[in-house]
Structure 1
């Protein structure tokens, strides 16, 4: 049986997205079909539309999602029809060199569905991050489904599928922020705000939020920032140092991913401090800095892939914290929208008007 559903498609670089008929095949071995209940509008989807990630058009966009498994293929035992799941783009293989060394959050051979979803005319679609969840149903590898408590609303649970998990994990898993640390977060959109929240949860003594948009700094304060820096009006590096005793922060998280913000992060950290890059650069960006400065300052320079999360470990834990009232995931949801409003949501996101728009299906 082939399922006929509606989905949001990017047909070409820079073209407005459209809602089109999508054909979803029955799940094959190791695959699952998920009825999508909610999917966040993430900047990565805009990167796909703009050609910043690849040129395998047409793309079926959407990846930050929660839903209910409706069918599974042969050999699938970890999930079953009726399971409430968050979709993830790191389906751990358990066999690659990272997994065998006990570091599955770095899995180098994550799985996607083998079959392809198509347009009505048979044109194969490239699902964003191997998920494609701006659709009423999607086909994924069963390992991309992580079971969580169904008491969490899908518009909240789905946020862990990408942006919020990336930010939380950048602070908690990659930056290893610990009690008493000083932290600066450059860029306080959805990912950066989550990094602020993660640093606050970890017990950082000071969390400095940096952005060019005063609205985002207000949001950052709500997520635990102790200080804010309006980057358009001051020297970011010197201001962060002033706010951290003249030394710089122990951990600086770049949630923008541009050469200028990375340089700010590098020089705004204390000696032997840590820089975490979680913002996603585009392919043409380059960085030129004196190599001696890397040697002189020491410390650690890290890139955070998906917040270095392990979905099977982190998603259920974070959902439990939300249900206990200890993790305000719902505060990230600015608005809920329909499938045909994704293009308008991209514009609002680009202008910084929202933390997260979430499609409800």
Structure 2
């Protein structure tokens, strides 16, 4: 029969979000209903509202979430009612060519719940990143639920569901940062600071944070940056080279998703260095590079999908590091807000001053 709960939707492109009644079906085979405890306000949610992802309005927003499994459908064995979980938007299939090659983090057939959540009048909703977690309870595929330590703070570990994981994974999983490396991170929002924290965890000894906002650069130091570069005042490439003995960084992580910052990253890396793109570009963006430079500089140009993470491996491990005091997830939480304050949180993204607003239920 399903149940009715409160949630936040984007009804039309650019329109303010609204809090309304959402109908959540009972879980079918392979599905789970999760009572949300906390959900971060990610820039991707704003992209959905602005029509930057697609035009499948209305959207049920929210995806960086932690909660408690309330019920499960037939055939679900990986989670059970009462489990504390972090939600992910890439439930792996186990059967595609990537999974069968032992690389499930590249799964080419990730999936979400089959049934649809709706408005009270029956209008079908598109859940953001297949989750939709600005809502008291949501319906997901059971594979989107990863069990973690139930004593962990929901507002903090929920952020592993997207931005923080994307950044940490870009450094450790995609970039392969290791002991003694030099790393430059261009763009110090939630994803960029996650990359800085990941580089610090991996043992990088020089970590250079690049941004145009002094407040963000100060936050970056708190996550492990050893040096900062204000791109408004300095030549980014020259400064990174200067801070790395004239060579450039071993790994550069571009967390903005723009052609000009990607080019900076390309030339700011050492010969045979690695450039990782984790910032999300828009469809119309293009880039042009001299092919001889691509050949002559060697190394690797990589894109990072969700930090190339495997939730069942990475979420519990990172939660354990957080519980041990080795990964300060609390520092990502700038404020805790109510469900009806999501629109205000979007406005703060434009003015700065917050790293993550987190909705508490």
| Coarse TM-score class (shorter-chain normalised) | over 0.9
Distance 1:3 1:282 in 2: 37
Residue 82 in 1 paired to residue 85 in 2? no
Give 1:2 deviation, angstroms. Answer: 1.3
Q: Residue 17 of structure 1 aligns with which residue?
A: 17
Cross-structure match for 2:158: 158
- For residues 304-315 of structure 1, the aligned pairs below 5 Å read 304-315=304-315
Describe the SS at the equivalent of 1:23: strand
Secondary structure at the aligned position of 2:242 is classed as helix
Contact residue 189 and residue 352 of structure 1 kept, 8 A: no
How far off is 1:324 after superposition?
Answer: 1.0
Equivalent runs, 1:113-262 vs 2, <5 Å: 113-262=113-262
1:192-224 CA distances to partner (integer Å, 9 max, x unpaired)? 011011111111110000000000000000111
- Offset, 1:353: 1.6
**Residue 52 of structure 1, CA deviation:** 1.1
In structure 1, the residue matched to 2:277 is 277
Q: Distance in 2 between matches of 1:352 and 1:98?
A: 39
Q: Distance in 2 between matches of 1:116 and 1:51?
A: 20
The whole-number CA distance in structure 1 between the counterparts of 2:92 and 2:226 is: 36
| Stretches of structure 1 lacking an aligned partner (at least 5 in a row) | none
Aligned residues: 361
Corresponding residue for 1:109?
Answer: 109
How far residue 351 of structure 1 moved from its aligned partner, in angstroms, is 2.3
Q: How many Å apart are 1:326 and its aligned residue?
A: 1.1
Q: What displacement does 1:96 show?
A: 0.3
Q: CA RMSD, aligned part only?
A: 0.7
Displacement after TM superposition at 1:92 (Å): 1.0
Other structure's SS at 2:246 match: coil
- C-alpha distance in structure 1 between counterparts of 2:7 and 2:303, whole Å: 32
Alignment of 1:313-328 (within 5 A): 313-328=313-328
Instruction: Give the CA deviation at 1:331.
Output: 0.8
Partner of 1:63: 63
Separation (CA, whole Å) in 2 of partners of 1:32 and 1:268: 45
Structure 1 distance, partners of 2:248, 2:289, is 19
Runs of 4+ that moved beyond 2 A: none
Q: Secondary structure at the match of 1:146?
A: strand
Q: What's the TM-score, normalizing by structure 2? A: 0.99
Q: Give, in whole Å, the separation in 2 of the partners of 1:201 and 1:329.
A: 13
Deviation at 1:90, TM superposition (A): 1.2
What's the CA shift for 1:352? 2.2
Moved more, 283-292 or 266-275: 283-292
CA distance in 2, matches of 1:350, 1:153: 27
Q: Is the 8 A contact 1:19 1:340 kept in 2?
A: yes
* Residue 27 (structure 1) aligns with: 27
**Structure 1: distance between partners of 2:222 and 2:299:** 30
What SS does structure 2 have at the residue aligned with 1:68? strand
Equivalent residue number for residue 286 of structure 2: 286
Deviation at 1:350, TM superposition (A): 2.4
Which structure 2 residue ranges, 5 or more long, are not aligned?
Answer: none
Q: Residues of 2 paired with 1:287 and 1:352: CA distance?
A: 28
- Secondary structure of the structure 1 residue equivalent to 2:349: helix
CA–CA distance in structure 2, aligned partners of residues 82 and 88 of structure 1 = 18
Q: Deviations over 1:53-88 (max 9, x none)?
A: 111110000000000000101111111111100000
